[in-house]
Amino acid sequence: MSKTLARRVREGREVMGLSTYRFGLMVGLCGTTIRKLEQGDANVRLDTLERVASGLGTEAWLLLRRDAPREPM
């Protein structure tokens, strides 16, 4: 599941044209946290997942679905 989440967050951020630092600022997290999340190295709290999802314009549960479409959010 962490690989699915990592891929979806990275793809969504890249579609928006933002660095991990800029995206982190936008959602109120540090760039290091975003980087770890995108590498699958972070244990993500629900509130963090919701902030990231909101920043990507989607819902948290969609970031976790393996079978969800891989189109930009």
| Predicted local confidence at residue 62, as pLDDT | 93
- More reliable by pLDDT, 68 or 49: 49
- More reliable by pLDDT, 55 or 44: 55
Residue 52: how many other CB atoms lie within 10 Å:
28
Q: What is the pLDDT of residues 10-45, one digit of tens each?
A: 999 999 999 999 999 999 999 999 999 999 988 889
Spatial distance between the Cα atoms of 59 and 61, rounded to a whole number of angstroms: 6
H/E run at residue 12: helix 2-15
| Predicted local confidence at residue 67, as pLDDT | 76
Closest to 50 measured CA to CA, from 42, 62, 40, 39: 62
Stated length of the chain? 73
Q: Do the beta carbons of residue 6 and residue 39 sit within 8 Å? A: yes
